[in-house]
């Protein structure tokens, strides 16, 4: 049957079915006069199908497979004499039992029997015992012993005489007179519930800090003793973070109503302490409202609801709940873990703050609508403000203002500066200066002018905030990479906005939603002036420098992106660090090590200039490059070995794994060093390092990696993209021949064995693949040698190894130029570079894309340094 036949049949059948049974035959006669086959087919389908056909079956209670019978009272299991059943958990039945020699009451959990042996369940049982036995906390049910006796595996636990929170809540729902909790309507009810959840939160926090996740936080697992003190029990699904994981990835562990979105999506690899926070948030919500936050008439829907719907506000369901508690619930139940409380401990502390009637330290998540509305109220003439694009001299300006004696001069200075402010940072400074100026000695006119200025800056802030909201809302409907992209833009807009109007509460609250990663700084000396340059995501260019402050510095929130951080000492020392802030972590730490003396030995000074740069999106741009130092030669194996020996930095894993055994001793500080090997190979270029390893080396040297523009400028000069031979491949052939004899001139056997370079073929032959040219003994005729400019001599631009740069690789995707995640630009030629003489010039800007974490023996690096 094909589609058109199907549609035709549908049509006839639909109409026939809509007719009374007796009219159908006549209709078919008429409709299918030409098509006897269709008529008989449709006719055969007109018999009324069984009404239950294709109805979803309703399944009854009776159909459930019965569990194994409970053990009778009086049964002996080891030391324990069972008294009665206390409850049933996922992995077994819990009995009240008398422990004979000690004559005390304990709770004994016995692994369910009768389901046939399952290694997995047994090992989970064992893990539970081991995990829980480590925990000693006033609010955790203590595990007394575990073992196997009389054919049963058991765990003996402290017996909590009371009931679980689920039972207590049910009693409250039914308004039972002797319910364990106060009456729902009484104000003390909320306090009581918060105390319970706070204690549970601190118990979970304790477990988490001991590497144990509960994974199944729910009211049934929170026991209340006669005094109402809560105990967290049944680490039945606890997974010891340190022990080998036993759960097969993708299994759903836990009770659906309290599952976190990441658990509901069966992403067990991603479950972490914040998943327990979510579940506890669901418990708090239920206790405060007597309703579960996520309901559904089937498990599908409960889970779908957990993943996709926002629970009704707690305050709507129970008006007695304070706004702060609502805030806490919302934060605990955030779908994205990064927005939740970062730990159960934080949740416990906020709950305690609530009990102490102190203001919370977390911020309320605002709906985007509210902010958009506020923005509309603020709509003011900002175009003029945005259009002014002139140079800014911020630091001088601030001092200018503070020193001005004449207030009118100050006001004028601020206004002038506002007109000149071309970027956010400048505006921020204008704003703080203007706020600082609002002193009593200003006259009404001056005050009005200052207010107008502030309003203008604030309106820019609100404009940014509204844009951020739009991005944020847009991001929610997107997926994966694309969403990150949008969220990131939203974050940056929020960040900029909150910096423009730092004392605006609503902006601050709104920005808190984006929860930027925090970067903390440490340094080998105090008093360093720290600044940063952001890397433009679409070009990889460095944006203008912005101040951060003087060490010791408080941690700074920074939006995702690539940065170059700079620290300068008053003695002229400087440290530069490349930092990639992304979503993989919330905290970053940066260590500045400023060296007293400038190390510029073996470096060439390149004057500032413009440079033509081509990127992965095949755009050619002219980039302004500030003057810089760059290593004349690539970093050698001996250099890198020195770094490892001095710092204890781990040797490159890739190197150790993939290089020949006789090489490993060169770098592994723990291995005995063969001086002959070092002499022979130490001067060859270091390769097989990740970008981070290269950066670590550079930082140790007080240097950094060059940007692509810097590298190209140093290698090719401002005007020429190529080497001196330009398009003349005969010259290239001569040069290659020279290179070969340089490389092997003194070692004829080596040349015969390995370095057979066949002109006209494309690569240096097998066997010479590692390092044909030594780093220091052979010098490429860099353009400078012939051009002679600056007296600059850069070695191995084309030879040896290709080189890492600290420039993000951007490429074109769906018409948009975007940075590729984790990919960086590699430049120059290396031993494995295909040199296709027929295809035209071999130039230095043969840009390649390499992933920062994927080292290669054909990629090495050299360092650079700002002035």
Per-residue mark of binding to another protein, 168-207 (x: CB under 8 A):
--x--x----------------------------------
The CA distance from 189 to 183, in Å, is 6
- Are the C-beta atoms of 860 and 685 separated by less than 8 Å? yes
Site residues for another protein, 237-296, by CB under 8 A, read 248-253, 255-256, 261-262, 265-266, 270, 295
Per CB under 8 A, the list member of 20, 34, 36, 59 interacting with another protein is: 59
CB contact at 8 A, 845 and 827: yes
Residues 305-324, interacting with another protein (CB under 8 A): 305, 307-309
When the beta carbons of 330 and 411 are compared against another protein, the nearer one is: 330
b/e for 571-609, b at 16 or more Cβ within 10 A? eebbbbbbbbbeeeeeebebebbbbeeeeeeebbebeee
Please identify, among the stretches 52-60, 530-538, 594-602, 607-615, the one whose residues bind another protein according to the rule CB under 8 A: 52-60
Q: Which stretch binds another protein (CB under 8 A): 302-310, 420-428, 499-507, 551-559?
A: 302-310
Q: Which stretch binds another protein (CB under 8 A): 95-103, 333-341, 617-625, 739-747?
A: 333-341
User: Scanning residues 471 to 490, which ones bind another protein (CB under 8 A)?
Assistant: 476, 479-481, 483
Residues 6+ apart with CB under 8 A from 69: 114
H runs (alpha helix) in 717-825: 729-744, 748-753, 783-787
Separation between Cα atoms, residue 779 and residue 311, nearest integer Å: 68
Task: Indicate the DSSP class of residue 684.
Answer: S
Residues 6+ positions from 719 with CB-CB distance below 8 Å: none
Q: Which is nearer to another protein, 307 or 380 (CB)?
A: 307
Does 789 bind another protein (CB under 8 A)? Our answer is: no
Find, among 271, 278, 257, 290, the residue nearest to 332 by Cα. 278
**CA-based nearest residue to 468, from 505, 509, 496:** 496
CB of 363 to another protein, least distance (A): 19
Q: Which is nearer to another protein, 23 or 408 (CB)?
A: 23
CA distance linking residue 439 with residue 309, whole number of Å: 50
Does 533 help bind another protein (rule: CB under 8 A)? no
Residues 422-481 that bind another protein (CB under 8 A): 476, 479-481
What character string, x for contact with another protein (CB under 8 A) and - otherwise, covers 119-158?
-xx-------------------------------------
Residues 726 to 745: which contact another protein by CB under 8 A? none
Region of 1-9, 192-200, 357-365, 830-838 interacting with another protein (CB under 8 A)? 1-9
Count CB neighbours of 285 within 10 A: 28
Number of residues that this document lists for the chain: 867
Backbone torsions φ then ψ of 202, nearest 5 degrees: -70, -30
**300 touches another protein (CB under 8 A):** yes
Rounded-to-integer distance, Cα 594 and Cα 570, Å: 11
What span, in angstroms and rounded, lies between the C-alpha atoms of 186 and 595?
A: 66
Q: How far is the CB of 393 from another protein (least distance, A)?
A: 45
Residue in 374, 619, 587 with CA at minimum distance from that of residue 501:
374
> Binding to another protein by residue 18, rule CB under 8 A?
yes
Q: Minimum Å distance from CB 692 to another protein?
A: 24
Shortest separation between residue 95's beta carbon and another protein, angstroms: 16
Taking the CB of residue 668, how many other CB atoms lie within 10 A of it? 17
| CB of 169 or CB of 590, closer to another protein | 169
37 is a contact residue toward another protein (CB under 8 A)? no
Examine residue 52 and tell whether it contacts another protein (CB under 8 A): yes
**Quick one: which segment of 19-27, 102-110, 111-119, 532-540 binds another protein (CB under 8 A)?**
111-119
Nearest CB to another protein, comparing residues 118 and 191:
118
Q: Which of residues 68-107 bind another protein (CB under 8 A)?
A: 88-91
- 329 or 844, CB closer to another protein? 329
Asked if residue 496 binds another protein (CB under 8 A), the reply is no
Cα 26 from Cα 458, distance rounded (Å): 77
- Per 3-state DSSP, the chain is made up of helix, strand and coil in percentages (nearest 5) of 40, 20, 40
Of 165-173, 633-641, 719-727, 772-780, the window that binds another protein (rule: CB under 8 A) is: 165-173
Interface pick for another protein out of 335, 364, 614, 793 (rule CB under 8 A): 335
- The closest alpha carbon to 91, from 277, 233, 267, 281, belongs to 233
816, 796 contact by CB (below 8 A): no
Q: Using the minimum distance from each CB to another protein, give the nearer residue, 123 or 720.
A: 123
Residue from 50, 103, 356, 601 that binds another protein (CB under 8 A)?
50
Residues touching another protein, count (CB under 8 A)? 76
| Inter-helix orientation angle 407-420/424-437, to 10° | 160
Residue 59 vs 444, nearer CB to another protein = 59
Closer of 300 and 323 to another protein (Cβ): 300
**53 or 749: whose CB is closer to another protein?**
53
Give the chain's count of helices (H) and strands (E).
29, 27
| Chain centre to alpha carbon of residue 802 | 30
For residue 241, what is the DSSP state? S
Stretch that binds another protein, among 55-63, 614-622, 667-675, 779-787 (CB under 8 A): 55-63
Pick between residue 2 and residue 384 the one whose CB is nearest to another protein. Answer: 2
Nearer Cβ to another protein (61/601): 61
**Is 336 an interacting residue with respect to another protein (CB under 8 A)?**
yes
Residue 367 or 602 with smaller CB distance to another protein: 367
Q: Is there binding between residue 61 and another protein (CB under 8 A)?
A: yes
Measured from the CB of residue 396, what is the shortest distance to another protein in angstroms? 47
Binding residue (CB under 8 A) for another protein from 20, 57, 69, 838? 57
In the complex, least distance from residue 30 CB atom to another protein, rounded to whole angstroms: 18
Segment 648-677, which members bind another protein (CB under 8 A)? none
Least CB distance from residue 467 to another protein, whole Å? 21
For residue 760, give the nearest of 838, 842, 863, 843 by alpha carbon.
838
CA atoms lying within 13 Å on the CB side of residue 788: 0
Q: Which is nearer to another protein, 218 or 568 (CB)?
A: 218
Stretch that binds another protein, among 8-16, 96-104, 784-792, 847-855 (CB under 8 A): 8-16
62/390 with CB nearer another protein? 62
Q: Compare residues 59 and 387 and give the one whose CB is closer to another protein.
A: 59
The verdict on 118 binding another protein (CB under 8 A) reads yes
Q: How far apart are CA 680 and CA 686, in angstroms?
A: 14
Least Cβ distance, residue 11 to another protein (angstroms)? 9
According to DSSP, residue 554 is labeled -
Distance, in Å, from the CA atom of 733 to the CA atom of 835, rounded to the nearest integer, reads 10
Nearer to another protein, 436 or 822 (CB): 822
Distance CA 681, CA 635 (A): 13
- If 0-12 CB within 10 Å is exposed, 13-18 middle and 19+ buried, where does residue 215 land? buried
CB 803 within 8 A of CB 711: yes
Q: Nearer Cβ to another protein, position 58 or 505?
A: 58
Strands of 587-592's sheet in order across: 556-557, 518-523, 587-592
């Amino acid at each position: 049957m094909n589609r058109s036949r199907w549609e035709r049949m549908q049509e006839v059948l639909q109409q026939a079915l809509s007719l009374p049974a007796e009219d159908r035959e006549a209709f078919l006669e008429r409709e299918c006069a030409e098509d006897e086959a269709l008529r008989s087919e449709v006719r055969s389908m007109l018999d009324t199908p069984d009404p239950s056909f294709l109805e979803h079956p309703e399944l009854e209670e009776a159909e459930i497979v019965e569990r194994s019978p409970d053990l009778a009272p009086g049964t002996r299991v080891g030391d324990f004499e069972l008294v009665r059943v206390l409850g049933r958990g996922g992995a077994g039945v819990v009995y009240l039992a008398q422990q004979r020699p000690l004559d005390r009451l304990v709770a004994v959990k016995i692994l369910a029997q009768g389901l046939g042996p399952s290694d997995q369940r047994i090992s989970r049982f064992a893990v539970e015992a081991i995990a829980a036995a480590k925990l000693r906390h006033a609010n955790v049910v203590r595990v007394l012993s575990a073992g196997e006796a009389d054919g049963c595996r058991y765990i003996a636990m402290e017996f909590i005489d009371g009931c679980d929170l689920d039972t207590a809540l049910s009693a409250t729902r039914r308004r039972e007179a002797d319910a364990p909790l106060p009456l729902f309507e009484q104000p003390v009810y909320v306090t009581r519930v918060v105390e319970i959840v706070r204690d549970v939160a601190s118990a979970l926090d304790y477990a988490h800090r001991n590497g144990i996740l509960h994974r199944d936080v729910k009211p049934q697992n929170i026991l209340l003793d006669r005094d109402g003190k809560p105990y967290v029990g049944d680490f039945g699904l606890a997974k010891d973070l340190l022990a080998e994981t036993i759960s097969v990835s993708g299994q759903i562990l836990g009770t659906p109503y309290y599952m976190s979105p990441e658990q509901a999506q069966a992403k067990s690899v991603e479950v972490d302490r914040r998943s327990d926070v979510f579940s506890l948030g669901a418990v708090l919500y239920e206790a405060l409202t007597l309703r579960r936050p996520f309901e559904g008439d089937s498990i599908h829907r409960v889970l779908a609801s957990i993943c996709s719907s926002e629970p009704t506000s707690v305050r709507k369901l129970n008006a007695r709940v304070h706004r702060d508690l609502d805030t806490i619930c919302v934060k605990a139940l955030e779908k994205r873990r990064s927005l939740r409380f970062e730990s159960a401990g934080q949740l416990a502390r906020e709950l305690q703050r609530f009990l102490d009637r102190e203001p919370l330290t977390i911020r309320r998540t605002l709906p985007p609508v509210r902010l958009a509305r506020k923005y509309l109220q603020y709509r003011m003439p900002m175009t003029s403000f945005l259009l002014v694009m002139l140079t800014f001299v911020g630091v001088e300006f601030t001092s200018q203002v503070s020193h001005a004696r004449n207030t009118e001069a100050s006001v004028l200075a601020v206004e002038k500066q506002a007109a000149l402010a071309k970027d956010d940072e400048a505006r921020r400074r204008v704003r703080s200066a203007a706020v600082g100026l609002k002193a009593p000695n200003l006259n009404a006119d001056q005050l009005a002018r200052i207010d107008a200025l502030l309003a203008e800056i604030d309106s820019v802030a609100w404009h940014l905030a509204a844009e951020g909201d739009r991005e944020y809302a847009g991001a929610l409907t997107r997926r994966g990479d694309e969403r990150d992209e949008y969220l990131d833009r939203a974050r940056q807009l929020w960040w900029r906005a909150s910096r423009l109007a730092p004392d605006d509460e609503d902006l601050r609250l709104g920005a808190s939603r984006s929860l930027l990663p925090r970067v903390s700084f440490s340094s080998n000396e105090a008093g360093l002036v720290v600044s940063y340059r952001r890397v433009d995501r679409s070009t990889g260019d460095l944006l203008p420098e912005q101040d951060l402050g003087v060490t010791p510095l408080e941690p700074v929130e920074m939006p995702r992106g690539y940065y170059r951080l700079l620290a300068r000492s008053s003695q002229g020392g400087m440290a530069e660090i490349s930092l990639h802030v992304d979503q993989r972590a919330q905290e970053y730490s940066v260590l500045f090590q400023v060296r007293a003396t400038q190390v510029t030995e073996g470096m060439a000074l390149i004057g500032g200039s413009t440079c033509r740069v081509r990127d992965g999106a095949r755009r050619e741009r002219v980039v302004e490059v500030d003057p810089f130092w760059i290593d004349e030669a690539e970093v050698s194996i001996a250099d890198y070995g020195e770094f490892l020996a001095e710092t204890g930095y781990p040797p490159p894993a890739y190197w150790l794994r993939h290089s020949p055994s006789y090489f490993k001793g060169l770098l592994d500080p723990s291995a005995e060093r063969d001086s002959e090997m070092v002499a022979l190979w130490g001067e060859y270029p270091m390769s097989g390092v990740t970008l981070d390893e290269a950066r670590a080396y550079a930082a140790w040297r007080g240097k950094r990696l060059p940007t692509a523009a810097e590298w190209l400028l140093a290698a090719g000069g401002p005007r020429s993209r190529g080497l001196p031979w330009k398009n003349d491949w005969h010259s290239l052939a001569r040069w290659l021949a020279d290179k070969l004899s340089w490389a092997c001139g003194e070692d004829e056997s080596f040349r015969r064995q390995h370095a057979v370079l066949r002109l006209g073929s494309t690569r240096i032959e097998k066997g010479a693949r590692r390092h044909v040219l030594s780093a220091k003994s052979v010098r490429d005729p860099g353009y400078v040698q012939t051009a002679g400019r600056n007296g600059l001599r850069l070695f191995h631009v084309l030879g040896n190894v290709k080189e890492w740069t600290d420039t993000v690789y951007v490429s074109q995707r769906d018409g948009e130029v975007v940075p590729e995640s984790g990919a960086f630009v590699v430049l120059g030629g290396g031993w494995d570079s295909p040199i296709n003489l027929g295809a035209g010039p071999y130039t230095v800007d043969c840009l390649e894309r390499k992933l920062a974490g994927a080292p290669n023996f054909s990629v090495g690096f050299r360092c650079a340094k700002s002035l």
